[in-house]
Structure 1
Amino acid sequence: MEDIDAVKEELVKIKDEYVLQGTPDVLPISEADSSQPASESHNKMIGRNKEFEIIKEMLIQHPSKKLEIVSIKGMGGIGKTTLAKQIYEDSSITSYFDKQAWVVASQHHSKRQMLLDLLGSKDDADKSSDEDLSLRLYQSLKRQRYLVVMDDVWSVEAWDALKTCFPDDGNGSRVLLTTRFPEVANHTSSRSKDDFSHEMQFLKQSESWQLFYEKACKSRSAEFKTIGRPVVEKCKGLPLAIIVIAGLFSKLNTLDEWENTANALSSSSAATLDDEECSRILSLSYNHLPHNLKACFLYLGVFPEDHKIKANNLARLWLAEGLVKAFENESFDAVANRIRAKDCSNEYITNIPCLKNVHIRGKGREINACIANLAYLEQLERLCISGGGETHIPIINDIVLLKNLRKLTLYPMRFVWEEINILSKLPRLEMLKLLWTLNAGKEWEIQEEVIFCQLIALVIHGCVLKQWKASSHNFPKLKHLVLWNCFELREIPIDFAEISTLKSIKISRCLPSAVESAKKIQDEQRDYGNYNMVVVEKETRDANSASGVGVVDECKLKFLELKSKRNYRYIVFKIDEASQAVVVEKLGSHEETHIQFSNSMPPNECRYAVYDYDFTTDENCQKSKIFFVAWAPETAPIRSKMVYASSKDRFRRELDGVQVELQATDPSEMSLDTFKGRAY
């Protein structure tokens, strides 16, 4: 009996509507921005090039600088969401808008959930009112040229719930809305409905056949194609129907099976494709499923509409409900291959050698032992290791043994760049993500003999890398390079201009010199004839602020008052997320005690502080010293600890007069005894 992956694959096809796969990986448009469309691949649509250009013109080429609402309307399954995704991810769009966000409204919309999705918030549900969230969204978009996509809008109420959150600064911002209801599109438009509204058309017969052929007929004989053409005509140019039918026929191997299924579809005499006829076409794919796979499919009804379902979690639910156990002729290995590994012991791993996707979380020896056992997983293709920032990974002896590994993500981990070079021994590695790396060193030199022969995408996020020495020879097939929060990186190796496959460099919150090097690479690529290579730049930082975090003047003024006038016993500083600058959080009066100072440090968040410590020497002399305290508790988020650590030296240089520095992860490390011991 067929594997349950058949259902998962079919669902992916339906969700992506009628997309043909292109390049294997796509990187997020903006990690810093809020919700992104659920798409992980660049795709090529069939028959939509003209419509693509029409919508793009409305978004970035129309002379109107007012906030305009652009609507894409059409019946369900015609490809509205897919077209919107293509536009949202297009390089000309991402480079034009300062900020992008995506939200799905769906049939039963929730204003609060839409606001949280647009803000990228997951834990604010009990902390902020809808009005507060609306204000936050408005402020985040204010003075930005933004593109917001509202997908699958069913009612004017869904639009009205959010419309006041979108500021109009006269800078060409746009809201792109998809809907199957003309009245919704008409309600949102402030101009002639034809200026910023587009109704999607059904595919032409030739386009419909091309879509079906790519999915079902490529390796078939002429007899199969003869049967398939009337089937495609029955779909009336609706992409979703064509995709589902093609998926069904691709699993039929004999002419008799094709003919029987085609006859079942042809039994209807409907001349037009209404909702009932469309449902009948789609039901053929469902009816063809084996009994147990139907149960798996129907189980999806327990999830809310447009809910993102993790495949591993779904498979475990199927297993718990007995839907998977009931399959005939299915081994334990095949079942285990569809669930997340719960235990990485030697015994467990050796019993499930077919695992293809593993995510390991842990610390210290536990995670190292788990990695050591991965060598038994000869079919492993995707590996993600989350080390909590405390784990050094044994790359040399273990990970390089995974000869089928295609995607590797490490975060946050401890390693040195020389170990990353050894990953080049992975013969099929296509994507490498290094996120919030710790103590990797400031220089990454890749020797000539080190070649990442199949690497397509390289993502480096949050590291102290300063010098990068590499050549095009090291990355012969690289297509996408993403650098985020590489606060000290001076430049990208200029020799990357000779990588003929390079398509994009996305650089966010890096130094101007690094951005300039990316643009030089783009210029040289164009000299070589590659006009499709793009550079996407976001939030370039001041060269004087290598961490990307500034310092407001009040911090320096208050410190001077503490130093010269002794107005305060201590000052607590924090990094403000909104302004990305160090600000004053609390001023402790000269009468406050050390206990009050210690209590001012939040137990789960990082802070900076200065403390004016008075003491008496052995010679009975009264003295004082100004301590700088870098507070980074173990329970603070890893990203916060990284940002505070990379900003510390820059901030301390602004405080001329600090005499002693303390780094504390626990209150005991900044006790009075500690101050006394360091003061002498």
Structure 2
Amino acid sequence: MAAYSAVISLLQTLEQRNTKLIIQNQTAKALESIHATAQYFHDVLEEASYNRRPTFDPEKTKSLEEVIRVAATDAEDVVELKFGQFIKVSRWTFGMLPHWDLLPLVEKMDTTKKQVMEILEVSVDLGIDTSFTSYVLVSDQLGDDVVHGLDDGLEIIVNRLTGPSTDLEIVTITGMGGIGKTTLAKKAYDHFPIRYRFDILAWVTVSQEFRGRNVYLQALHCISKQKDSVNEKDYDKMDESELADLLQKNLKHRRYLVVVDDIWRTDVWDRIRRIFPNDNNGSRILLTTRETEVAMYADTSSPHEMNLLTLENGWKLLCHKVFGPKHDHPHELEDTGKEIVKKCQGLPLTISVIAGHLCKMSRTLEGWKDVARTLSEVIATHSDKCLEVVGLSYHHLPNCLKPCFLSMAGFLEDFQIDTRRLIQLWIAEGFIKSSEGGKSLEEVAADYLEDLISRNLIQARKRRFNGEIKTCGIHDLLRDFCLIEAEMTKHMHVERTYPTLQTQKHNVRRFSFQALSYSVDDCCKLLPPVTKSIYLFSLLNLPYRPRIKLEILPIYRRNPVIHDFFSRFNLLRVLAILNTNVMFRSFPLVITKLFHLRYLQIQFDGDIPESISELQKLQFLICSGYPENVTLPEKIWMMKNLKCISLASRATYLPSPRRESILNKHLVTWMPNLEGFFGLSYASCTNEVFSGIPNLKRLIIRVPFSLGNRIPYRPMDMSSLGKLEAFKFYGLHSLENPIKSFVFPTSLRRLSLTWLKNFIWEDISSTVIMLPHLEELKLKRCRAWYGEWRFSDKDKVRSLKLLLLRSVNLRHLEASSDNFPNLKHLVLKECNILEEIPIDFGEICTLESIELHDCSATAEDSAREIEQEQEDMGNSSLKVYIHQRRNQPSNRGLVRTPFDGKLYY
């Protein structure tokens, strides 16, 4: 919702102002008045979101939201411009922001507030519903129960419904809208053994708007068809509580199955659950829901999560819908048909909608190829059948999650988004509201992401071994909905084709360019000066250059056109150039004039200029480019709002902070908010530097290759980094025995060491044993003095859950289960000389998996032996995965299990 995100952003801007610069009492009062009105708008939107009012027709809703969006957006533009101008002047002179500059804005906000109040009062007087959530309810069912690929799921559900337990059990089915939850439930409901087992079967559909009377009537109507004693004529005379009592009496002392379809909230489940008696006779309740949270709440054991269809099953479904049960299709259509199914990404609803469209067409190859090319447009023309289904999940979201979800429209189709980058963008955009519970904005944003994933709106594409999300994405159907909703609500404009000349600039603040290329002139015509976010996946071509193909790397030279382009956007907060083929020859100095910039992602050649310190609001600096070594200016220490510095694979030299006089002001000597530094040069690892970044949580240190053998040995004491959780070190084989030089903080949870040379394995043991909270240890391409790693009986790595060894010269590992009492995953990659895995590792009760990638045959033998021994002892929880890319067949004749790729290291 653009109105909500605009209000939240305005509130944050007002709350983050520098109060030391507001010395006029009247100015402070003006800002407080604007803040109070913005808070009122926030409360109105929140109240509507949580259904505290009666509902309101959709046109009134759109009108009200648009009034609030325009007022909040314009107010923030004025406030930021005034503060930007004021701060620029006050650097050179003693000045103050006069309150009369804000009076027109105060009056405009008051006028808008009166408009909103009048709309709400009229709505109440007319008895109109004002919840903003009066949406058409669309079923998740696919029209019939023919969905290939549900057999395994059906067997699981039937087994749980017919299990031996006599307690009343709740079985849940969860998954995204359109995946076939209702269809699977119906197949189970109609299954002959189910109908034979239960005395009473009833089906109720809850949907978003819970109406208890309707739900109870649905169940009673089902019962009345199975029992002659029920008189349906009496229902009209009963109120809701009487119907609930009657339903409970009819279920009492009978073995029943009740399907509760399409339930959305836990509080609704609490109300329904009380109706069902537990007579210890094997009764069951089957729930379907899009909300994983609801599924887990109702069924704490193991909700059945539905997966998307495979290409094979998707093709069978399409054939059945288009050609009938015999699947008698022209052979020449198969390749194109499978291409269509692949683009549907395994969602049965999309496949069914496309099948309905294909049924109305002539069955020609050219016609099907046209559908494959224009799949998104075809889906959009069937929005009543397709987009409305997924739209229900969006409209059910609380306001705080809506802008985060709509932000997914800003990324390319099938784009895998690093979750850390996504969270940073949400924060920079102003979508994240500070928590009253003391959580940081990053923690709140991570909760938002988990919430959207649990609602099956965002997909976790890759997870770390501990469940943390590494990358995420979105289904194409949901992305199509995002694109439409983002445009309609003026949340963001996405350009996916080369733009035509615009007679009027778009009235939005966020833009994403996703076509092949654009000229600067066209971008300037498209973007208004108040633009706040630019996402660039395309090439930005200069007028004097010909159009360039994507695979050719354009290096933008210093050019006044670039200066003119960036200098137009004084309010820009986010500049994310995500196309890796776009690189500037040097850092564009004009960017340092964008005072309000919070997030900068860019590629350039050379160093970062001193004028970067002008970006006092910058929180996230993500840069990449050609030079191996980069030097940060000393003035970087003045940027106290920086949260993350990431310079990709570069080794970044950070000078030690010094206090000195600059224009009669003292240089800030530490960065209190910096939590991530990715690519710090080994040469910068001094006590002075570490003391200036005391709140660091994630750190990557690199040794520049250009240093060769000239690296001095010196201790690296990181004990002052008391909040450090994740540390990666990329060394060189020329760096002698660095293990002894490291002094790690005890807070460390993840440790990764790459390219170390001339150490002894026991140094690794003694180091990790001293880290009580260490959960991950990764050693990659390391060369020790000897190939034997021995643990004594007293050596215990108590918290370690993941041990990964990749391309190390380890021949013999001597360890027992006592040394790794909590290990969950052992991963070995390219360990060609490792003789075996200690057989005693099978005794580690927490061990869940052993993975081998291109390891020696004897190591594979030992892994299989451990697995077989555990199976013989009745332990089937330990899984062994062997992934082998060697072309030559193994002389051991082992049956290898391909790695399933679910965990990423």
Question: Per the shorter chain, which TM-score range?
Answer: 0.3 to 0.5
Structure (1 or 2) with the larger CA radius of gyration: 2
TM-score by length of 2: 0.32
TM-score by length of 1: 0.41
